[in-house]
Structure 1
Protein backbone atom coordinates (compact mmCIF):
# COMPACT_ATOMS: atom_id res chain seq x y z
CA UNK A 1 0.00 0.00 0.00
CA UNK A 2 1.36 3.40 -0.97
CA UNK A 3 2.02 6.03 1.65
CA UNK A 4 -0.60 8.39 0.15
CA UNK A 5 -3.27 5.69 0.08
CA UNK A 6 -2.46 4.74 3.66
CA UNK A 7 -2.84 8.38 4.75
CA UNK A 8 -6.18 8.72 2.92
CA UNK A 9 -7.57 5.53 4.47
CA UNK A 10 -6.48 6.56 7.96
CA UNK A 11 -7.96 10.02 7.43
CA UNK A 12 -11.28 8.55 6.25
CA UNK A 13 -11.32 6.25 9.28
CA UNK A 14 -10.78 9.18 11.62
CA UNK A 15 -13.51 11.18 9.87
CA UNK A 16 -15.89 8.21 10.24
CA UNK A 17 -15.08 7.86 13.95
CA UNK A 18 -15.72 11.56 14.53
CA UNK A 19 -18.98 11.39 12.56
CA UNK A 20 -20.12 8.32 14.52
CA UNK A 21 -19.41 10.18 17.77
CA UNK A 22 -21.59 13.09 16.65
CA UNK A 23 -24.42 10.82 15.48
CA UNK A 24 -24.38 8.97 18.83
CA UNK A 25 -24.37 12.23 20.80
CA UNK A 26 -27.24 13.61 18.68
CA UNK A 27 -29.38 10.51 19.19
CA UNK A 28 -28.75 10.54 22.95
CA UNK A 29 -29.63 14.24 23.05
CA UNK A 30 -32.94 13.72 21.23
CA UNK A 31 -34.03 10.69 23.25
CA UNK A 32 -33.00 11.79 26.73
CA UNK A 33 -34.93 15.04 26.98
CA UNK A 34 -33.77 18.63 27.36
CA UNK A 35 -31.88 18.31 30.65
CA UNK A 36 -29.60 15.37 29.87
CA UNK A 37 -29.60 16.44 26.22
CA UNK A 38 -28.09 19.78 27.17
CA UNK A 39 -25.32 18.01 29.09
CA UNK A 40 -24.46 15.92 26.05
CA UNK A 41 -24.72 18.80 23.59
CA UNK A 42 -22.25 20.97 25.51
CA UNK A 43 -19.55 18.31 25.63
CA UNK A 44 -16.55 18.74 23.27
CA UNK A 45 -18.28 17.02 20.37
CA UNK A 46 -16.22 18.63 17.63
CA UNK A 47 -13.02 19.74 19.37
CA UNK A 48 -12.64 16.47 21.25
CA UNK A 49 -12.09 14.18 18.24
CA UNK A 50 -9.83 16.79 16.63
CA UNK A 51 -7.56 16.90 19.67
CA UNK A 52 -7.53 13.13 20.07
CA UNK A 53 -6.26 12.68 16.53
CA UNK A 54 -3.77 15.51 16.93
CA UNK A 55 -2.45 13.73 20.03
CA UNK A 56 -1.99 10.55 18.00
CA UNK A 57 0.07 12.37 15.38
CA UNK A 58 2.02 14.83 17.55
CA UNK A 59 3.81 15.00 20.89
CA UNK A 60 2.59 16.52 24.13
CA UNK A 61 4.35 19.83 23.48
CA UNK A 62 2.34 20.27 20.27
CA UNK A 63 -0.96 19.61 22.10
CA UNK A 64 -0.05 21.92 24.98
CA UNK A 65 0.78 24.78 22.61
CA UNK A 66 -2.36 24.12 20.58
CA UNK A 67 -4.42 24.37 23.78
CA UNK A 68 -2.95 27.80 24.47
CA UNK A 69 -4.20 28.97 21.06
CA UNK A 70 -7.59 27.32 21.60
CA UNK A 71 -8.22 29.07 24.91
CA UNK A 72 -8.71 32.62 23.53
CA UNK A 73 -10.66 31.15 20.60
CA UNK A 74 -13.21 29.95 23.15
CA UNK A 75 -13.73 33.63 24.01
CA UNK A 76 -14.27 34.36 20.31
CA UNK A 77 -16.99 31.70 20.28
CA UNK A 78 -19.02 33.37 23.03
CA UNK A 79 -18.78 36.63 21.04
CA UNK A 80 -20.07 34.70 18.00
CA UNK A 81 -22.95 33.51 20.14
CA UNK A 82 -23.79 37.01 21.36
CA UNK A 83 -23.63 38.39 17.81
CA UNK A 84 -26.05 35.78 16.54
CA UNK A 85 -28.41 36.05 19.51
CA UNK A 86 -28.80 39.80 19.11
CA UNK A 87 -29.15 39.76 15.32
CA UNK A 88 -31.49 36.75 15.25
CA UNK A 89 -34.21 38.67 17.09
CA UNK A 90 -35.08 40.63 13.92
CA UNK A 91 -33.00 39.27 11.04
CA UNK A 92 -33.03 36.26 8.74
CA UNK A 93 -30.71 33.27 8.77
CA UNK A 94 -28.19 34.63 6.28
CA UNK A 95 -27.67 37.93 8.07
CA UNK A 96 -27.60 36.46 11.57
CA UNK A 97 -25.38 33.43 10.92
CA UNK A 98 -23.22 35.15 8.31
CA UNK A 99 -22.44 38.06 10.62
CA UNK A 100 -21.74 35.80 13.61
CA UNK A 101 -19.38 33.55 11.65
CA UNK A 102 -17.65 36.59 10.15
CA UNK A 103 -17.04 37.98 13.64
CA UNK A 104 -15.54 34.65 14.73
CA UNK A 105 -13.25 34.49 11.69
CA UNK A 106 -11.98 38.02 12.29
CA UNK A 107 -11.32 37.36 15.97
CA UNK A 108 -9.70 33.97 15.27
CA UNK A 109 -7.48 35.55 12.61
CA UNK A 110 -6.29 38.11 15.15
CA UNK A 111 -5.80 35.46 17.84
CA UNK A 112 -3.54 33.31 15.66
CA UNK A 113 -1.10 36.19 15.22
CA UNK A 114 0.02 36.07 18.85
CA UNK A 115 1.78 33.62 21.14
CA UNK A 116 -0.64 33.17 24.03
CA UNK A 117 0.22 32.36 27.61
CA UNK A 118 -2.16 30.54 29.93
CA UNK A 119 -2.68 33.71 31.98
CA UNK A 120 -3.49 35.81 28.92
CA UNK A 121 -5.91 33.20 27.57
CA UNK A 122 -7.73 32.96 30.89
CA UNK A 123 -7.89 36.75 31.14
CA UNK A 124 -9.46 37.06 27.68
CA UNK A 125 -12.05 34.45 28.61
CA UNK A 126 -12.78 36.19 31.90
CA UNK A 127 -13.39 39.51 30.14
CA UNK A 128 -15.40 38.03 27.25
CA UNK A 129 -17.68 35.90 29.43
CA UNK A 130 -17.96 38.65 32.03
CA UNK A 131 -19.39 40.91 29.33
CA UNK A 132 -21.37 38.39 27.26
CA UNK A 133 -23.13 36.32 29.92
CA UNK A 134 -25.04 39.29 31.44
CA UNK A 135 -25.92 40.54 27.94
CA UNK A 136 -27.22 37.09 26.96
CA UNK A 137 -29.33 36.67 30.11
CA UNK A 138 -32.43 38.43 28.79
CA UNK A 139 -32.48 36.21 25.69
CA UNK A 140 -32.45 32.90 27.55
CA UNK A 141 -36.22 32.51 27.74
CA UNK A 142 -38.34 32.12 24.61
CA UNK A 143 -41.34 30.04 23.64
CA UNK A 144 -39.88 26.87 22.15
CA UNK A 145 -41.93 25.30 19.33
CA UNK A 146 -41.93 21.54 18.86
CA UNK A 147 -38.94 20.55 16.74
CA UNK A 148 -39.27 17.61 14.38
CA UNK A 149 -36.01 16.11 13.20
CA UNK A 150 -35.51 15.94 9.46
CA UNK A 151 -33.56 13.23 7.71
CA UNK A 152 -30.58 15.44 6.92
CA UNK A 153 -30.07 16.95 10.42
CA UNK A 154 -27.71 14.35 11.84
CA UNK A 155 -25.81 13.71 8.56
CA UNK A 156 -25.31 17.47 8.28
CA UNK A 157 -23.81 17.71 11.77
CA UNK A 158 -21.71 14.60 11.22
CA UNK A 159 -20.35 15.89 7.93
CA UNK A 160 -19.38 19.22 9.52
CA UNK A 161 -17.40 17.52 12.27
CA UNK A 162 -15.84 15.01 9.87
CA UNK A 163 -14.73 17.88 7.64
CA UNK A 164 -13.26 19.75 10.60
CA UNK A 165 -11.31 16.66 11.67
CA UNK A 166 -10.03 16.20 8.12
CA UNK A 167 -8.82 19.80 7.95
CA UNK A 168 -7.16 19.72 11.37
CA UNK A 169 -5.45 16.36 10.87
CA UNK A 170 -4.29 16.90 7.29
CA UNK A 171 -2.92 20.41 7.83
CA UNK A 172 -1.50 20.19 11.36
CA UNK A 173 1.93 19.12 10.20
CA UNK A 174 2.60 22.29 8.22
CA UNK A 175 0.43 24.93 9.91
CA UNK A 176 1.78 24.14 13.38
CA UNK A 177 0.13 23.89 16.79
CA UNK A 178 -1.07 27.50 16.98
CA UNK A 179 -3.20 27.40 13.83
CA UNK A 180 -4.28 23.82 14.55
CA UNK A 181 -5.54 24.94 17.97
CA UNK A 182 -7.52 27.74 16.35
CA UNK A 183 -9.08 25.52 13.67
CA UNK A 184 -9.94 22.76 16.16
CA UNK A 185 -12.09 25.21 18.12
CA UNK A 186 -14.29 26.29 15.22
CA UNK A 187 -17.81 26.20 16.76
CA UNK A 188 -19.33 23.39 14.72
CA UNK A 189 -22.08 22.73 17.28
CA UNK A 190 -23.17 26.37 17.45
CA UNK A 191 -23.12 26.65 13.65
CA UNK A 192 -25.21 23.52 13.16
CA UNK A 193 -27.74 24.68 15.77
CA UNK A 194 -28.11 28.04 14.04
CA UNK A 195 -28.37 26.65 10.52
CA UNK A 196 -30.76 23.82 11.40
CA UNK A 197 -33.09 25.51 13.89
CA UNK A 198 -33.31 29.13 12.69
CA UNK A 199 -35.34 28.47 9.51
CA UNK A 200 -37.48 25.90 11.34
CA UNK A 201 -38.46 27.56 14.63
CA UNK A 202 -37.34 31.16 14.10
CA UNK A 203 -34.57 33.39 15.37
CA UNK A 204 -35.58 34.12 18.99
CA UNK A 205 -36.10 30.47 20.05
CA UNK A 206 -32.84 29.44 18.37
CA UNK A 207 -31.11 32.37 20.03
CA UNK A 208 -32.43 31.16 23.39
CA UNK A 209 -30.70 27.81 22.85
CA UNK A 210 -27.36 29.54 22.30
CA UNK A 211 -27.91 31.99 25.14
CA UNK A 212 -28.41 29.07 27.54
CA UNK A 213 -25.15 27.51 26.33
CA UNK A 214 -23.00 30.35 27.67
CA UNK A 215 -22.29 28.83 31.07
CA UNK A 216 -21.49 25.47 29.49
CA UNK A 217 -19.07 27.18 27.12
CA UNK A 218 -17.36 28.79 30.10
CA UNK A 219 -16.76 25.32 31.51
CA UNK A 220 -15.33 24.25 28.17
CA UNK A 221 -12.81 27.07 28.44
CA UNK A 222 -11.80 25.79 31.85
CA UNK A 223 -11.37 22.33 30.35
CA UNK A 224 -8.97 23.71 27.74
CA UNK A 225 -6.89 25.32 30.48
CA UNK A 226 -6.87 22.04 32.41
CA UNK A 227 -5.81 20.20 29.26
CA UNK A 228 -2.84 22.51 28.72
CA UNK A 229 -1.57 22.15 32.28
CA UNK A 230 -2.22 18.40 32.49
CA UNK A 231 -0.61 17.66 29.12
CA UNK A 232 2.54 19.50 30.20
CA UNK A 233 2.74 17.56 33.46
CA UNK A 234 1.28 14.14 32.62
CA UNK A 235 1.21 13.75 28.84
CA UNK A 236 -1.48 13.94 26.16
CA UNK A 237 -3.61 10.95 27.16
CA UNK A 238 -4.10 12.01 30.78
CA UNK A 239 -4.46 15.66 29.76
CA UNK A 240 -7.28 14.89 27.32
CA UNK A 241 -9.04 12.67 29.86
CA UNK A 242 -8.85 15.33 32.56
CA UNK A 243 -10.19 17.95 30.12
CA UNK A 244 -13.18 15.74 29.31
CA UNK A 245 -13.73 15.07 33.02
CA UNK A 246 -13.72 18.82 33.63
CA UNK A 247 -16.48 19.33 31.05
CA UNK A 248 -18.56 16.51 32.52
CA UNK A 249 -18.21 17.69 36.12
CA UNK A 250 -18.96 21.29 35.14
CA UNK A 251 -22.11 20.31 33.23
CA UNK A 252 -23.30 18.06 36.02
CA UNK A 253 -22.81 20.92 38.46
CA UNK A 254 -24.85 23.25 36.24
CA UNK A 255 -27.56 20.59 36.00
CA UNK A 256 -27.65 20.14 39.78
CA UNK A 257 -27.85 23.89 40.37
CA UNK A 258 -30.67 24.25 37.82
CA UNK A 259 -32.57 21.33 39.30
CA UNK A 260 -32.23 22.73 42.82
CA UNK A 261 -33.47 26.14 41.64
CA UNK A 262 -36.53 24.58 39.98
CA UNK A 263 -37.23 22.59 43.15
CA UNK A 264 -37.16 25.76 45.26
CA UNK A 265 -39.48 27.58 42.83
CA UNK A 266 -41.90 24.65 42.80
CA UNK A 267 -42.13 24.58 46.60
CA UNK A 268 -42.05 28.33 47.15
CA UNK A 269 -45.07 29.63 49.15
Structure 2
Protein backbone atom coordinates (compact mmCIF):
# COMPACT_ATOMS: atom_id res chain seq x y z
CA UNK A 1 0.00 0.00 0.00
CA UNK A 2 2.93 2.34 0.55
CA UNK A 3 4.55 1.65 -2.80
CA UNK A 4 4.83 4.74 -5.00
CA UNK A 5 4.06 2.64 -8.08
CA UNK A 6 0.73 1.58 -6.55
CA UNK A 7 -0.37 5.17 -5.97
CA UNK A 8 0.78 6.23 -9.44
CA UNK A 9 -1.26 3.40 -10.96
CA UNK A 10 -4.24 4.33 -8.79
CA UNK A 11 -4.06 7.93 -10.02
CA UNK A 12 -4.01 6.71 -13.63
CA UNK A 13 -7.05 4.51 -12.95
CA UNK A 14 -8.92 7.44 -11.38
CA UNK A 15 -8.25 9.75 -14.33
CA UNK A 16 -9.11 7.13 -16.94
CA UNK A 17 -12.39 6.17 -15.26
CA UNK A 18 -13.38 9.79 -14.71
CA UNK A 19 -12.81 10.56 -18.38
CA UNK A 20 -15.00 7.64 -19.48
CA UNK A 21 -17.89 8.55 -17.17
CA UNK A 22 -17.72 12.26 -17.99
CA UNK A 23 -17.92 11.55 -21.72
CA UNK A 24 -20.82 9.16 -21.20
CA UNK A 25 -22.81 11.58 -19.04
CA UNK A 26 -22.24 14.41 -21.52
CA UNK A 27 -23.64 12.15 -24.22
CA UNK A 28 -26.71 11.47 -22.05
CA UNK A 29 -27.56 15.18 -21.94
CA UNK A 30 -27.37 15.49 -25.72
CA UNK A 31 -29.63 12.56 -26.62
CA UNK A 32 -33.20 11.51 -26.01
CA UNK A 33 -34.20 9.95 -22.69
CA UNK A 34 -34.13 6.34 -23.93
CA UNK A 35 -30.75 6.69 -25.64
CA UNK A 36 -29.43 8.49 -22.60
CA UNK A 37 -30.70 5.76 -20.31
CA UNK A 38 -29.01 3.06 -22.39
CA UNK A 39 -25.73 4.99 -22.33
CA UNK A 40 -26.08 5.32 -18.56
CA UNK A 41 -26.38 1.53 -18.20
CA UNK A 42 -23.28 0.75 -20.22
CA UNK A 43 -20.40 -0.38 -17.98
CA UNK A 44 -18.74 3.05 -18.00
CA UNK A 45 -17.99 2.80 -14.29
CA UNK A 46 -18.09 -0.93 -13.50
CA UNK A 47 -16.12 -1.82 -16.63
CA UNK A 48 -12.95 0.07 -15.67
CA UNK A 49 -13.35 -1.09 -12.07
CA UNK A 50 -13.43 -4.75 -13.16
CA UNK A 51 -10.56 -4.18 -15.58
CA UNK A 52 -8.41 -2.88 -12.76
CA UNK A 53 -9.45 -5.79 -10.53
CA UNK A 54 -8.39 -8.17 -13.31
CA UNK A 55 -4.97 -6.52 -13.43
CA UNK A 56 -4.49 -6.94 -9.68
CA UNK A 57 -6.18 -10.30 -8.95
CA UNK A 58 -6.75 -13.79 -10.34
CA UNK A 59 -9.76 -15.33 -12.08
CA UNK A 60 -11.24 -16.74 -8.87
CA UNK A 61 -11.28 -13.28 -7.32
CA UNK A 62 -13.13 -11.93 -10.36
CA UNK A 63 -15.70 -14.72 -10.16
CA UNK A 64 -16.39 -14.01 -6.51
CA UNK A 65 -16.62 -10.29 -7.26
CA UNK A 66 -19.17 -10.94 -10.02
CA UNK A 67 -21.33 -12.98 -7.65
CA UNK A 68 -21.04 -10.21 -5.04
CA UNK A 69 -22.09 -7.60 -7.63
CA UNK A 70 -25.51 -9.18 -8.24
CA UNK A 71 -27.06 -7.82 -5.00
CA UNK A 72 -25.67 -4.40 -5.92
CA UNK A 73 -27.56 -4.52 -9.25
CA UNK A 74 -30.82 -5.33 -7.46
CA UNK A 75 -30.08 -2.54 -4.99
CA UNK A 76 -29.54 -0.11 -7.88
CA UNK A 77 -33.03 -0.88 -9.19
CA UNK A 78 -34.42 -0.07 -5.73
CA UNK A 79 -32.29 3.09 -5.69
CA UNK A 80 -33.90 4.22 -8.95
CA UNK A 81 -37.40 3.44 -7.69
CA UNK A 82 -36.82 5.36 -4.45
CA UNK A 83 -35.34 8.36 -6.25
CA UNK A 84 -38.14 8.44 -8.84
CA UNK A 85 -40.79 8.37 -6.12
CA UNK A 86 -39.21 11.29 -4.23
CA UNK A 87 -37.70 13.43 -7.00
CA UNK A 88 -41.04 14.68 -8.31
CA UNK A 89 -41.83 16.54 -5.07
CA UNK A 90 -38.48 16.98 -3.33
CA UNK A 91 -35.08 18.44 -4.06
CA UNK A 92 -32.08 16.53 -5.31
CA UNK A 93 -30.36 16.36 -1.90
CA UNK A 94 -33.27 14.71 -0.10
CA UNK A 95 -34.17 12.39 -2.97
CA UNK A 96 -30.59 11.22 -3.45
CA UNK A 97 -29.89 10.82 0.26
CA UNK A 98 -32.95 8.63 0.72
CA UNK A 99 -32.26 6.64 -2.45
CA UNK A 100 -28.63 6.02 -1.47
CA UNK A 101 -29.77 4.84 1.97
CA UNK A 102 -32.13 2.39 0.23
CA UNK A 103 -29.27 1.20 -1.99
CA UNK A 104 -26.89 0.66 0.91
CA UNK A 105 -29.37 -1.16 3.15
CA UNK A 106 -30.74 -3.37 0.37
CA UNK A 107 -27.25 -4.25 -0.92
CA UNK A 108 -26.12 -5.27 2.56
CA UNK A 109 -29.30 -7.26 3.27
CA UNK A 110 -29.20 -9.12 -0.05
CA UNK A 111 -25.50 -9.83 0.39
CA UNK A 112 -26.03 -11.30 3.85
CA UNK A 113 -28.62 -13.71 2.43
CA UNK A 114 -25.79 -15.50 0.62
CA UNK A 115 -27.89 -16.46 -2.39
CA UNK A 116 -24.94 -17.46 -4.55
CA UNK A 117 -24.74 -17.17 -8.32
CA UNK A 118 -28.08 -18.66 -9.38
CA UNK A 119 -30.07 -17.28 -6.45
CA UNK A 120 -28.47 -13.85 -6.70
CA UNK A 121 -29.16 -13.65 -10.44
CA UNK A 122 -32.79 -14.70 -10.01
CA UNK A 123 -33.32 -12.25 -7.15
CA UNK A 124 -31.81 -9.40 -9.16
CA UNK A 125 -34.06 -10.11 -12.16
CA UNK A 126 -37.19 -10.26 -9.99
CA UNK A 127 -36.34 -7.00 -8.20
CA UNK A 128 -35.64 -5.21 -11.50
CA UNK A 129 -38.90 -6.42 -13.07
CA UNK A 130 -40.85 -5.35 -9.98
CA UNK A 131 -39.28 -1.87 -10.09
CA UNK A 132 -40.08 -1.53 -13.81
CA UNK A 133 -43.73 -2.27 -13.07
CA UNK A 134 -43.89 0.06 -10.07
CA UNK A 135 -42.17 2.99 -11.82
CA UNK A 136 -44.17 2.88 -15.05
CA UNK A 137 -46.65 5.49 -13.82
CA UNK A 138 -43.83 7.88 -12.74
CA UNK A 139 -42.44 8.45 -16.22
CA UNK A 140 -42.87 11.73 -18.08
CA UNK A 141 -43.93 11.50 -21.71
CA UNK A 142 -42.66 13.78 -24.45
CA UNK A 143 -39.23 15.37 -25.00
CA UNK A 144 -37.19 16.44 -22.00
CA UNK A 145 -36.30 20.12 -21.47
CA UNK A 146 -32.83 21.21 -22.51
CA UNK A 147 -30.58 23.74 -20.78
CA UNK A 148 -26.93 24.63 -21.02
CA UNK A 149 -24.62 23.00 -18.53
CA UNK A 150 -21.98 24.53 -16.31
CA UNK A 151 -18.25 23.83 -16.27
CA UNK A 152 -18.32 22.77 -12.64
CA UNK A 153 -20.73 19.97 -13.56
CA UNK A 154 -17.84 18.12 -15.21
CA UNK A 155 -15.77 18.42 -12.03
CA UNK A 156 -18.65 17.04 -9.96
CA UNK A 157 -18.99 13.98 -12.19
CA UNK A 158 -15.24 13.38 -12.26
CA UNK A 159 -15.00 13.69 -8.47
CA UNK A 160 -17.80 11.17 -7.88
CA UNK A 161 -16.41 8.49 -10.16
CA UNK A 162 -12.81 8.92 -8.98
CA UNK A 163 -13.97 8.45 -5.39
CA UNK A 164 -15.67 5.19 -6.31
CA UNK A 165 -12.61 3.94 -8.23
CA UNK A 166 -10.45 4.57 -5.15
CA UNK A 167 -12.98 2.74 -2.97
CA UNK A 168 -13.12 -0.27 -5.34
CA UNK A 169 -9.34 -0.59 -5.69
CA UNK A 170 -8.70 -0.23 -1.95
CA UNK A 171 -11.58 -2.58 -1.12
CA UNK A 172 -10.12 -5.19 -3.45
CA UNK A 173 -6.81 -5.03 -1.61
CA UNK A 174 -8.11 -4.72 1.93
CA UNK A 175 -11.57 -6.28 2.17
CA UNK A 176 -11.67 -8.95 -0.52
CA UNK A 177 -13.88 -9.65 -3.56
CA UNK A 178 -17.21 -9.13 -1.78
CA UNK A 179 -16.68 -5.46 -0.99
CA UNK A 180 -15.00 -4.83 -4.34
CA UNK A 181 -17.89 -6.44 -6.23
CA UNK A 182 -20.50 -4.38 -4.41
CA UNK A 183 -18.66 -1.09 -4.83
CA UNK A 184 -17.94 -1.77 -8.51
CA UNK A 185 -21.68 -1.50 -9.18
CA UNK A 186 -22.41 1.43 -6.90
CA UNK A 187 -24.82 3.74 -8.80
CA UNK A 188 -22.09 6.20 -9.77
CA UNK A 189 -23.52 7.20 -13.14
CA UNK A 190 -27.05 7.45 -11.72
CA UNK A 191 -25.89 9.71 -8.90
CA UNK A 192 -23.89 11.84 -11.35
CA UNK A 193 -26.88 12.25 -13.65
CA UNK A 194 -29.17 13.16 -10.76
CA UNK A 195 -26.73 15.72 -9.36
CA UNK A 196 -26.34 17.38 -12.75
CA UNK A 197 -29.78 17.02 -14.34
CA UNK A 198 -32.15 17.44 -11.39
CA UNK A 199 -31.41 21.15 -10.75
CA UNK A 200 -31.52 21.90 -14.48
CA UNK A 201 -34.32 19.74 -15.85
CA UNK A 202 -36.40 19.07 -12.75
CA UNK A 203 -36.96 15.94 -10.72
CA UNK A 204 -39.66 14.45 -12.95
CA UNK A 205 -37.54 14.60 -16.12
CA UNK A 206 -34.45 13.25 -14.35
CA UNK A 207 -36.49 10.44 -12.81
CA UNK A 208 -37.72 9.52 -16.29
CA UNK A 209 -34.16 9.02 -17.56
CA UNK A 210 -33.32 6.81 -14.58
CA UNK A 211 -36.56 4.81 -14.90
CA UNK A 212 -35.86 4.13 -18.57
CA UNK A 213 -32.49 2.70 -17.52
CA UNK A 214 -34.12 -0.09 -15.47
CA UNK A 215 -34.36 -2.57 -18.40
CA UNK A 216 -30.67 -1.95 -19.05
CA UNK A 217 -29.86 -3.36 -15.60
CA UNK A 218 -30.99 -6.76 -16.87
CA UNK A 219 -28.07 -6.62 -19.27
CA UNK A 220 -25.75 -6.12 -16.29
CA UNK A 221 -27.18 -9.25 -14.66
CA UNK A 222 -26.62 -11.30 -17.81
CA UNK A 223 -23.08 -9.94 -18.18
CA UNK A 224 -22.21 -10.77 -14.56
CA UNK A 225 -23.59 -14.28 -14.87
CA UNK A 226 -21.53 -14.83 -18.01
CA UNK A 227 -18.41 -13.44 -16.32
CA UNK A 228 -18.82 -15.66 -13.26
CA UNK A 229 -19.38 -18.77 -15.38
CA UNK A 230 -16.54 -18.23 -17.86
CA UNK A 231 -13.72 -16.29 -16.19
CA UNK A 232 -11.97 -19.37 -14.76
CA UNK A 233 -12.30 -21.29 -18.04
CA UNK A 234 -11.60 -18.58 -20.60
CA UNK A 235 -9.45 -16.25 -18.55
CA UNK A 236 -10.16 -12.65 -17.51
CA UNK A 237 -9.53 -11.07 -20.92
CA UNK A 238 -11.98 -13.20 -22.89
CA UNK A 239 -14.55 -13.38 -20.08
CA UNK A 240 -14.59 -9.60 -19.60
CA UNK A 241 -14.86 -9.10 -23.37
CA UNK A 242 -17.82 -11.49 -23.49
CA UNK A 243 -19.52 -9.69 -20.60
CA UNK A 244 -19.03 -6.35 -22.36
CA UNK A 245 -20.44 -7.75 -25.61
CA UNK A 246 -23.53 -9.05 -23.80
CA UNK A 247 -24.11 -5.71 -22.07
CA UNK A 248 -23.72 -3.64 -25.24
CA UNK A 249 -25.81 -6.09 -27.30
CA UNK A 250 -28.64 -6.03 -24.75
CA UNK A 251 -28.78 -2.23 -24.70
CA UNK A 252 -28.60 -2.10 -28.47
CA UNK A 253 -31.57 -4.47 -28.67
CA UNK A 254 -33.57 -2.24 -26.31
CA UNK A 255 -32.81 0.77 -28.51
CA UNK A 256 -33.92 -1.07 -31.63
CA UNK A 257 -37.11 -2.26 -29.93
CA UNK A 258 -37.91 1.26 -28.71
CA UNK A 259 -37.19 2.98 -32.02
CA UNK A 260 -40.24 4.84 -33.35
CA UNK A 261 -41.83 2.97 -36.26
CA UNK A 262 -42.97 4.94 -39.31
CA UNK A 263 -46.69 5.01 -39.89
CA UNK A 264 -48.06 3.11 -42.88
Asked if TM exceeds 0.5, the reply is yes
TM bracket, shorter-chain basis:
over 0.9
Structure 1 range deviating more: 143-152 or 208-217:
143-152
CA contact (8 A) 1:78 1:128 kept: yes
Aligned mates of 1:173, 1:91 — CA distance in 2 = 39
State the Cα distance separating 1:147 from its structure 2 match.
2.8
Question: RMSD of the TM alignment (CA)?
Answer: 2.0
Equivalent runs, 1:131-170 vs 2, <5 Å: 131-142=130-141, 144-170=144-170
**2:43 — aligned with what?**
44
Distance 1:38 1:97, change over 3 A: closer
1:4 aligns to 2:3 (yes or no): yes
Deviation readout 1:163-222 (Å, 9 max, x if unpaired): 211111123122010111011111001111111111222111111111111111121221
Aligned mates of 1:86, 1:234 — CA distance in 2 = 42
Distance 1:36 1:92, change over 3 A: closer
Structure 2 unaligned residues grouped into runs of 5+: none
1:117 aligns to 2:108 (yes or no): no
Aligned mates of 2:168, 2:114 — CA distance in 1 = 19
Aligned mates of 1:80, 1:90 — CA distance in 2 = 16
Aligned mates of 1:234, 1:115 — CA distance in 2 = 26
CA contact (8 A) 2:37 2:210 kept: no
State the Cα distance separating 1:93 from its structure 2 match.
1.7
Equivalent runs, 1:240-255 vs 2, <5 Å: 240-255=240-255
Distance 1:241 1:69, change over 3 A: same
Aligned mates of 1:185, 1:194 — CA distance in 2 = 17
1:218 aligns to 2:218 (yes or no): yes
Distance 1:113 1:162, change over 3 A: same
Q: Hey, which bits of structure 1, 4+ residues long, moved more than 6 A? A: none
**1:130 — aligned with what?**
129
Structure 1 unaligned residues grouped into runs of 5+: none
Equivalent runs, 1:196-235 vs 2, <5 Å: 196-235=196-235
Structure 1 range deviating more: 208-217 or 162-171:
162-171
Secondary structure of 1:152's counterpart equals helix
Aligned mates of 2:129, 2:16 — CA distance in 1 = 36
Distance 1:29 1:196, change over 3 A: closer
TM-score, length-scaled by structure 1: 0.91
- The aligned length equals 263
Deviation readout 1:17-40 (Å, 9 max, x if unpaired): 112222333444455666654443
**1:19 — aligned with what?**
18
